[in-house]
A and B are shown apart, each in its own frame.
Chain A
Amino acid sequence: MTLTLTVGAIINTLFLASMYILIALGFALLFSIMEILHVAHGVIYMLGGYICYSLSVTLGINQWLSLVLTVAIVCCFGPVLEKFFFRPFFRDFDRTLLVGIGISTIIETTMVLSKSNEAQSLRAFATGILKMGPVSVSNERLVTFLIGALLLVAVIWLIHGTKIGLQMQAVGQDLEASLLQGINIHRISALACVIACGLAAVAGSLLGAYMGLGPFMGDFVFQKALVLVVLGGIGSIGGIFLAGLVVGGIDAFLPLFISGSAASALAIGIVIVVLLLRPRGFFGREMGF
């Protein structure tokens, strides 16, 4: 493998990892705090992309302002999801799973009926190419990576450095003890939903510009988020980082050596082998449902 290919794959790993982690963090928050396998997370990501498209391309609003507005709009879905779809089935894994599947199906079908016969993509958030010797990387990818990295730092600070973050961790670790400490679990759950929706909206907008939009773009993202959370270990933010790098690396390097569909199959095969060796993932507690 040439130097250019290797450096390109490393850049690709970082780019993919930042996006995967961004999506998986929100998913992991919901999983840890509310014990919800939020299968509609991918759909929220897709909606983020389409809302940003509607604001920036259809309405002609500045692309960056559109991104901010999109995050604000999609964050509003959080309390709605929490109050009307998750709270009635709090810590009821089966029913929340079904609710999530229902939400996904309804929204995806609606998007298919209204949007699916058009190829759509957001404009790039940055143009131009940065050349470093034989290696070149687009500014769009760099900007996407930087935004992703900044948000990750912000979320880590929120979880580990603020009172609300500590409350979130407490709810995730022991629900009854949290209640006894006077933590408003519904408020914390709603906040987790807001953060998850916001992160999904950012990822949907950034990747919607880089990879294009489609009603089923969230399916791929949901798979990745699930893999990262399980591989990283339930409840472990550090684990998600490591899993993001591993999965991003697999996705960036494997197609260079293995052609076609085999690369996708082998990628998930590697994840299964890792889980067989470390059933709790890299740093997490074992799944208890």
Chain B
Amino acid sequence: MQSKRRLHSFWFAVAVVAVAFFVFGSVASQAAEPKKIRVGLLVGLTGWFSVPGNIELAECRTAAEMVNDRGGITIKGGKYMIELVPEDMKSTNEGTTAAVNKLIYDDKVQFIVGPSAFWGPASAPLCEANKMINVLGYCANTPGELDKNTPHRILAEDGTMGHTYALIKFIKKNHPDVKSVAIVNADDGSIPYVKPLIAKALQENGISVAGDWVLFANEMVDFSPIASKLAALKADAIFHPNGIDRHVGPILKGLRELGDNRWYFYAGVSPCSNIKTLAGAGATKVVSLAPTPGAPGNPPQLEEFIKRYFARSKQGAALIIQNSSATYVLPQILQAAQSLDANDILKALPRMSNFETLWGPGHMGGERTYGIKHAVVHPLPSQYLDDKGVQKFGGWITDVEVP
């Protein structure tokens, strides 16, 4: 009888130990292996926007790697790592919508980063309907991109207006003789909305706009007519609020072929090196808001990002830092909210005022411009090609504001 009891006690003890081992073991393994947060990434990997799109993919992977290597995100004591789920938006609006659909319903992502450029309206309806927190890499001010009807969206980049304000500050400081500009831009649907804002910003800074805006289709290949139209406008300089190197390079080339040697102020982030590649000998007197590796005043996180990105891609590869800055800002939003729930994040958002962006210290703004205070505003760098075509760093524009 006693031996039977002992046997029972023995098996009971074994069971307790096994259960304890299982429970504590699983807890221990949980602590050792952080959970993953699936973040969908909207990038144009094919189509006319594929050059910046592929750069952005490598950049976002770099930003996610930086966040993860620094320990990931801590929410209520739990560790989380970013897992990027890229999806090709095919450089079209319908491709963007299809990509969002796949990310939400098939890939079951928890958050979405991107798109950049002006693809935002195509991704908004699905994101909003699914209460998906969507951190944008750019905003061109088209309706549906960022406004009161997109409460789940956060813009983590200065966008067209932030870049425009920054470039105007650059012109005022470095080219005070410029009193009039001819404006050229992609006909991307944003023109009726940004035109009055940009005209007002230029006017407030004593710069008039010569003639009407010269617009071109995004997919345009031969920019000679655009250059001819610009050359015919009497102004001190050319102003290009939003576009990519594939636009700027050929326009600049066309202008120089026509003997037009005016300064070309470009508010985008395509680097001067790319513009030079595309414009050839015509690549002179052009300003871009692209970062310059190793430039004075570069924030440490930007330098670390560039170093890692070059290791991933190649030394001197072009940088855009739009969706990648969004990838870098999203974890800060989650950590500040201490939740992965969209409602909790939206409740906590008004309390968040300062962020660390890849560009340096950022703050929340954009209420007057977008109708919703969901835009992280940050400093922007500048670089230019001088009259000999030599690339130079143009300094940081630190007091950028998007009201």
For the complex formed, measure the closest distance between the CB of A3 and the CB atoms of chain B, giving whole angstroms: 11
With A211-B221, A260-B187, A264-B219 already in contact, the answer to whether A117 and B229 are too (CB < 8 A) is: no
Query: In the complex, what distance in Å separates the CA atom of A127 from the CA atom of B53?
Result: 32
Query: In the complex, what distance in Å separates the CA atom of A115 from the CA atom of B359?
Result: 27
Query: In the complex, what distance in Å separates the CA atom of A89 from the CA atom of B257?
Result: 47
Q: Which of B220, B250, B280 lies in contact with A124, CB distance below 8 A?
A: B280
Indicate if the CB atoms of A264 and B220 lie closer than 8 Å.
Answer: yes
Indicate if the CB atoms of B232 and A220 lie closer than 8 Å.
Answer: no
For the complex formed, measure the closest distance between the CB of B259 and the CB atoms of chain A, giving whole angstroms: 5
Give a binary string over B24-60; 1 marks a CB under 8 Å from any A CB, 0 the rest. 0000000000000000000001111011011100100
Indicate if the CB atoms of A8 and B51 lie closer than 8 Å.
Answer: no
Indicate if the CB atoms of B259 and A117 lie closer than 8 Å.
Answer: no
Most buried by B among A109, A119, A215: A119
For B213, what are the chain A residues with a Cβ–Cβ distance below 8 Å?
259
Interface residues of A in 214-264 (CB under 8 A from B): 214-217, 220, 251-256, 259-264
The interface-forming segment of A44-52, A129-137, A146-154, A269-277 is: A129-137
Indicate if the CB atoms of B259 and A211 lie closer than 8 Å.
Answer: no
Contact-residue size bin, chain A (C-beta under 8 Å from the other chain): 35 or more
Give a binary string over B239-259; 1 marks a CB under 8 Å from any A CB, 0 the rest. 000000110011000000111
Indicate if the CB atoms of A12 and B280 lie closer than 8 Å.
Answer: no
For A217, what are the chain B residues with a Cβ–Cβ distance below 8 Å?
221
Query: In the complex, what distance in Å separates the CA atom of A154 from the CA atom of B142?
Result: 51
For the complex formed, measure the closest distance between the CB of B357 and the CB atoms of chain A, giving whole angstroms: 23
With A117-B317, A119-B246 already in contact, the answer to whether A216 and B224 are too (CB < 8 A) is: no
B278 interface residue (CB < 8 Å to A): yes
A174 interface residue (CB < 8 Å to B): no
What residue in chain B is nearest A117 (Cβ atoms)? Answer: B54
For the complex formed, measure the closest distance between the CB of B211 and the CB atoms of chain A, giving whole angstroms: 11
B75 interface residue (CB < 8 Å to A): no
Most buried by A among B55, B214, B224, B231: B224
Query: In the complex, what distance in Å separates the CA atom of A261 from the CA atom of B188?
Result: 8
Query: In the complex, what distance in Å separates the CA atom of A256 from the CA atom of B230?
Result: 10
Q: Which of B187, B229, B257, B270 lies in contact with A129, CB distance below 8 A?
A: B257
The number of A-B residue pairs with CB atoms under 8 Å apart is 121
Indicate if the CB atoms of A109 and B46 lie closer than 8 Å.
Answer: yes
Indicate if the CB atoms of B214 and A259 lie closer than 8 Å.
Answer: yes
Interface residues of B in 196-246 (CB under 8 A from A): 212-222, 224-226, 228-229, 231-232, 245-246
Q: Which of B50, B226, B280 lies in contact with A116, CB distance below 8 A?
A: B50
For A214, what are the chain B residues with a Cβ–Cβ distance below 8 Å?
48, 50-51, 246
For the complex formed, measure the closest distance between the CB of A118 and the CB atoms of chain B, giving whole angstroms: 7
Query: In the complex, what distance in Å separates the CA atom of A260 from the CA atom of B189?
Result: 10
With A4-B232, A117-B54 already in contact, the answer to whether A212 and B250 are too (CB < 8 A) is: yes
For A262, what are the chain B residues with a Cβ–Cβ distance below 8 Å?
187
For the complex formed, measure the closest distance between the CB of A49 and the CB atoms of chain B, giving whole angstroms: 12
Indicate if the CB atoms of B215 and A112 lie closer than 8 Å.
Answer: no
For the complex formed, measure the closest distance between the CB of A34 and the CB atoms of chain B, giving whole angstroms: 28
B318 interface residue (CB < 8 Å to A): yes
Query: In the complex, what distance in Å separates the CA atom of A214 from the CA atom of B46?
Result: 11
Indicate if the CB atoms of B216 and A255 lie closer than 8 Å.
Answer: yes
Indicate if the CB atoms of B221 and A8 lie closer than 8 Å.
Answer: no
For B9, what are the chain A residues with a Cβ–Cβ distance below 8 Å?
none
With A118-B51, A212-B250 already in contact, the answer to whether A264 and B228 are too (CB < 8 A) is: no
Q: Which of B50, B215, B228, B250 lies in contact with A260, CB distance below 8 A?
A: B215
Query: In the complex, what distance in Å separates the CA atom of A170 from the CA atom of B46?
Result: 41
Most buried by B among A2, A220, A259: A259
A186 interface residue (CB < 8 Å to B): no
For B245, what are the chain A residues with a Cβ–Cβ distance below 8 Å?
119
Query: In the complex, what distance in Å separates the CA atom of A72 from the CA atom of B58?
Result: 36
Query: In the complex, what distance in Å separates the CA atom of A252 from the CA atom of B225?
Result: 6
For A260, what are the chain B residues with a Cβ–Cβ distance below 8 Å?
186-187, 191, 215-217
What residue in chain B is nearest A130 (Cβ atoms)? Answer: B257
Query: In the complex, what distance in Å separates the CA atom of A136 from the CA atom of B220?
Result: 23
What residue in chain B is nearest A111 (Cβ atoms)? Answer: B50
Interface residues of A in 85-144 (CB under 8 A from B): 108-109, 112, 116-121, 123-124, 127, 129, 131, 136-138, 141
For the complex formed, measure the closest distance between the CB of A233 and the CB atoms of chain B, giving whole angstroms: 25
For the complex formed, measure the closest distance between the CB of A160 and the CB atoms of chain B, giving whole angstroms: 30
For B212, what are the chain A residues with a Cβ–Cβ distance below 8 Å?
259
What residue in chain A is nearest B54 (Cβ atoms)? Answer: A117
Indicate if the CB atoms of A121 and B55 lie closer than 8 Å.
Answer: no
Indicate if the CB atoms of B246 and A212 lie closer than 8 Å.
Answer: yes
With A9-B225, A256-B229, A259-B214 already in contact, the answer to whether A136 and B50 are too (CB < 8 A) is: no
Indicate if the CB atoms of A119 and B278 lie closer than 8 Å.
Answer: yes
B313 interface residue (CB < 8 Å to A): yes
Query: In the complex, what distance in Å separates the CA atom of A72 from the CA atom of B198?
Result: 51
Query: In the complex, what distance in Å separates the CA atom of A256 from the CA atom of B245?
Result: 22
Q: Interface residues, chain B, CB within 8 Å of chain A?
A: 45-48, 50-51, 53-55, 58, 186-187, 191, 212-222, 224-226, 228-229, 231-232, 245-246, 249-250, 257-259, 270, 274, 277-278, 280-281, 313, 317-318
Q: Interface residues, chain A, CB within 8 Å of chain B?
A: 2, 4-5, 8-9, 12, 15-16, 108-109, 112, 116-121, 123-124, 127, 129, 131, 136-138, 141, 211-212, 214-217, 220, 251-256, 259-264
User: 26 A-B contacts, Cβ less than 8 Å apart?
Assistant: A5-B228, A5-B232, A8-B228, A8-B258, A9-B228, A12-B224, A12-B225, A12-B228, A16-B222, A116-B51, A117-B317, A118-B318, A119-B277, A119-B278, A120-B277, A123-B280, A131-B259, A138-B257, A216-B47, A251-B222, A255-B226, A259-B212, A259-B213, A260-B187, A261-B217, A264-B217
